[in-house]
Amino acid sequence: MPMPEPILSARQLTKVYRRGASEVRAVDGVDLDVAPGEFMAIMGRSGSGKTTLLDLLGCLLRPTSGELTIDGRSVIGASDGELAALRRQRIGFVFQEFNLIPTLTAVENVLLPLRYGPRRPDGRRRASELLDLVGLAERATHRPTELSGGEQQRVAIARALVNEPAVILADEPTGELDSATSERLMATLRELNRERGVTTIIVTHDAGVAGATDRVVRLQDGHVLADARRNGGNGRAFDAALTGQPHTDGGGRVWARLGDLLDRARGR
Amino acid sequence: MNEAISNIWRRPLRTALTILGIVIGVFALTVMGALAEKLNVLVDGGDEYFRTRLFVFDEGAASGFQASSRPITRELVDQIEQIDGVERATPVLQTLLDPDEVGGFDIPELLTGIEPETWYDDSVVLGVDAGRLLEAGDEGVTTIGADLAERYDLRVGDTFTIRERDFEVIGVLERTLTFPDKIAYVPLADAQQIYVQDVPEGFEERTGDLATQIEVFPNDLSEADAIAEAIDEQVDGVRAITPQQVADQIGQASIVFNLIIVGASVIAVIVGGLSVINTMVMTVSERVREIGIKKAVGAPTSAILREFVVEATLLGAIGGLIGLGAGALLVVILNAQTAGSGTTVFLLTPMLLLRSFLFATILGALAGIYPALRAARLDPVRALRST
């Protein structure tokens, strides 16, 4: 099956930080295509470059080198103002710490991105719909401090959706939530993906979260170590990406067997 | 705007203190400004009142209009009238209405003896509110300024006792907001009778000749300098002062006060401006994360900039309004307390109020620029991940 035109495409994407004499290649030559409607995870240990990659994909950071296109258009060389407009129109962010504005109510937080674009008369109605969609219709006028962590993160998801972005970038969205809340949140994201076709990229180190997605990209030292799809037919490759263990090299037989066991245990 | 209002009350105490800084500055500015307005009206009006003629004093007088200057005598009038360009000259005897009353900030109350037939003409700008001006042949009567009428509660027909002599009030002048408001005009001869008690020995027998100054009306005012020069050269023992010099003398006082206003403004700038800058810098550093969030969801630099400038402007405007109100209140109270004596020290004008308010508002806006630039220049990634 030919891959549809990617919504997000990175070629040799590289971000180098210089600290005095030494330099850190936080993201180092990453190639990545994300098709519309994908529901995927970027995994890696802390320091693997996953957050930097997310910042690059979200146009919060400029790459040191490489190419990045959104909707087929290059964002390299865009001005600060153009990057801000891209973030506003094409990207929706969800952060680990929810990052709502404490002085604004839930619905005002959802409306925040609209404030910086052209006036939309249907903004308020749309914000209410989105809050309804994430199950917070009753909480529209509550401030963040009056909401639980899970509720705050749902507000953040509604905010990310308000401008109908091409892609939602979620940075450890369940990092501050207990496991039950975490599962419900993932279910919501999944539902938005299935029913509304929202392209979603989740950065996480939680295999449980990543395992709920269709594709896992594992980063290590800024490189893509593995990139596997659940429906690509190779369940082992997906699990290997999930666990971060190689499954093809000669010394990995034990792990491969362990992978099989895992597959079997999951009823596959 | 609504967000700016709720934002400044996130730290109520700090905001209140910051606003207080501006309040103090604008308060000083308003009160000082009201003083200056009053003084400027006096100066402008004085300028108009004195503009039409030259004044000739005894050369021993340290400056014009000193009540203690030595008298000059009548024959000088004839000498001065011989000089080219002089239309006429008239003796005037001016002294303090009450020698025991020490002049303060305001213009002193004066007794001015004039020869009505040679003093009044079109160039003397005086109108009567009630009664009439002095006329030739008047005796024991006075036309008084508006402030005197108010202070001593005098109307036409009343008796005004000046230095133990009774004068019938025959006229009350229109208010001029300057010197004539505090002058009692009497016939020269009456003034001489009063004045002779105070002059040095040897002048008593010449009572009818005494004057403190000679006022010289030129044919053409633009020749005032030349005429003054001619008088200084040709008439012994006197000094001529042109209308311009009179205006300059009066202007000296207003320069001093205007400097005080500038000083108050500078203090307002330092106190108010620095406190706004300080507060806004703290505000920005407290809200780094929020700025990061806003940038992440697509806020352009200009929106962040505007947000903080609006907040600082709001601080300035609120401080301005409160300072303005407090200053105006004090001025009104002080004016009401001194009104009984016919003297108000302050003058509130709409322009002054508008100026004070705009001053505070613009000050707030300017003070907000630097902190706002700091906010707008924050790197979104670092701002987002800051704790």
Give the confidence band of B68 by pLDDT, cuts at 50, 70, 90. Answer: very low
Facing A88 at nearest CB: one of B293, B298, B384: B298
Reply yes or no on whether the pLDDT at B169 is more than 90.
yes
What is the residue-averaged pLDDT of chain B?
A: 84
Residue window 30-59, chain A: list those with CB within 8 Å of chain B. Answer: 55, 58
Helix (H, G, I), strand (E, B) or coil at B186: strand
A88 touching B (Cβ < 8 Å) = yes
What residue of B is the nearest CA neighbor of A96? Answer: B385
What residue of A is the nearest CA neighbor of B302? Answer: A81
- B contacts of A99 (beta carbons < 8 Å): 289, 292-293, 296, 384
Work out whether the CA dihedral B320, B326, B332, B338 comes out positive or negative. Answer: negative
Residue B124, pLDDT score:
67
- A contacts of B298 (beta carbons < 8 Å): 84-89, 91, 113, 116-117, 163
Tokens representing B283 are 């505000």
A164 touching B (Cβ < 8 Å) = no
What residue of B is the nearest CA neighbor of A54? Answer: B381
Nearest to A263 by CA among A250, A242, A246, A187: A242
Beta bridge partners of residue A19, listed in sequence order:
A22
More confident: B221 or A151: A151
Contacts of A183 (CB under 8 A, 6+ apart): none
Give the confidence band of A201 by pLDDT, cuts at 50, 70, 90. Answer: very high
Helix (H, G, I), strand (E, B) or coil at A212: coil
Residue B67, pLDDT score:
45
* Residue contacts between A and B (CB atoms, under 8 Å): 64
Distance of CA B172 to the CA centre of its chain: 24
Query: CA dist B182 to A252, B98, B143, B148, B232, Å?
Result: 111, 12, 11, 6, 31
Contact A88 B297 (CB under 8 A): yes
Contact A84 B384 (CB under 8 A): no
Instruction: State the DSSP string of A98-158.
Output: ----TTS-HHHHHHHHHHTSS--TTHHHHHHHHHHHTT-GGGTT--GGGS-HHHHHHHHHH
Give the confidence band of A145 by pLDDT, cuts at 50, 70, 90. Answer: very high
Contact A159 B297 (CB under 8 A): yes
Work out whether the CA dihedral A86, A88, A92, A95 comes out positive or negative. Answer: positive
What residue of B is the nearest CA neighbor of A104? Answer: B3
**One-letter-per-residue 3-state SS of B86-101:** EEEEEEEEEEECCCCC
Contact A81 B380 (CB under 8 A): no
Percentage of chain B beyond pLDDT 70 is 91
Nearest to B191 by CA among B95, B126, B106, B275: B95
pLDDT in tens, A84-121: 999 999 999 999 899 999 999 999 999 999 999 888 88
Residue B286, pLDDT score:
92
Residue window 129-158, chain A: list those with CB within 8 Å of chain B. Answer: none
Contact A88 B295 (CB under 8 A): no
**One-letter-per-residue 3-state SS of B208-219:** HHCECEEEEEEC
pLDDT in tens, A186-200: 999 999 999 888 999
Give the confidence band of A131 by pLDDT, cuts at 50, 70, 90. Answer: very high
Give the confidence band of B364 by pLDDT, cuts at 50, 70, 90. Answer: very high
Give the whole-angstrom CA distance, residue B167 versus residue B158.
8
Contact B296 A88 (CB under 8 A): no
Give the confidence band of A255 by pLDDT, cuts at 50, 70, 90. Answer: low
**For A55-80, what is the mean pLDDT?**
93
Contacts of A20 (CB under 8 A, 6+ apart): none
Most A CBs within 10 Å, among B5, B289, B293, to test the A interface: B293
Facing A84 at nearest CB: one of B289, B295, B381: B295
Residue B147, pLDDT score:
86
